Amino acid sequence: MNATEIQVDERTFEIFITREQINERVTALASELNARMVNKYPILMPVLTGAYYFTSLLVAQLNFKYAIDFVKVSSYGRNMKSSGEPLLIFKHQLELMGRPVIIIEDVIESGLTTEFLYNNLQTYQPESVEIMTFLFKPDSFEGKIKPHSIGFEVGNEFVIGFGMDLAEDYRYLPDIYRLKKV
């Protein structure tokens, strides 16, 4: 094992996206959002817990007025694969009617959890709902609503770090690691 790898139980993970690449891409996404949200007052809606890290870097670079309202949706539990049955653990608190909403995700795989949240939010009659994700796995995507903004498109690798976890651990890693193929 070398300095770009970590051991998790009997699995080896290798650096996939460095903190420098993360910072560079978040800066670009913030710039795009700054240009689009001029004279708007959106509600940013990070999906806990994974999107917290991405959101914290993103909002530090925004130069428009926004509100923030966290939601928690789960379809993983303690597994490495989604159950495909999303559960809204807690919902937004702010009034959405007539406001632009931006769902912020850490990773979208099947898209079913995000689509569940997107459809749920439509019932509150927002002006619009956009989806921003840091990682998008198009080969796994089964949903109908693709993200509007994407940090990186990746394959079907299982990843940890920068908010993404394995059984609620390893979110704290500043780089993104993927399960090493043997």
CB 16 within 8 A of CB 178: yes
Task: Calculate the dihedral angle through the C-alpha atoms of 53, 137, 44, 86, rounding to the nearest 10 degrees.
Answer: -100
DSSP class per residue in 104-147: EEEEESSSHHHHHHHHHHHTT--SEEEEEEEEE-TTT---SS--
In this structure, CATH architecture of domain 5-179: 3-Layer(aba) Sandwich (3.40)
Largest CA distance in the chain: 53
- The pLDDT value recorded for residue 90 is 65
Residues 6, 127: Cα–Cα separation, whole Å = 44
Per-residue pLDDT of the chain (182 residues; tens, 9 = 90+): 667 888 888 888 899 999 999 999 999 999 999 999 999 999 999 998 899 999 999 999 999 999 999 998 876 544 445 555 666 666 788 899 999 999 999 999 999 889 999 999 999 999 999 999 999 999 999 999 999 999 999 999 999 999 998 888 899 999 999 988 76
Residues 50, 31: Cα–Cα separation, whole Å = 22
CB 97 within 8 A of CB 126: yes
- The pLDDT value recorded for residue 80 is 47
Residues 76, 97: Cα–Cα separation, whole Å = 30
Residues 148, 132: Cα–Cα separation, whole Å = 6
Domain range annotation of the chain: 5-179
CB 106 within 8 A of CB 136: no
- The pLDDT value recorded for residue 79 is 47
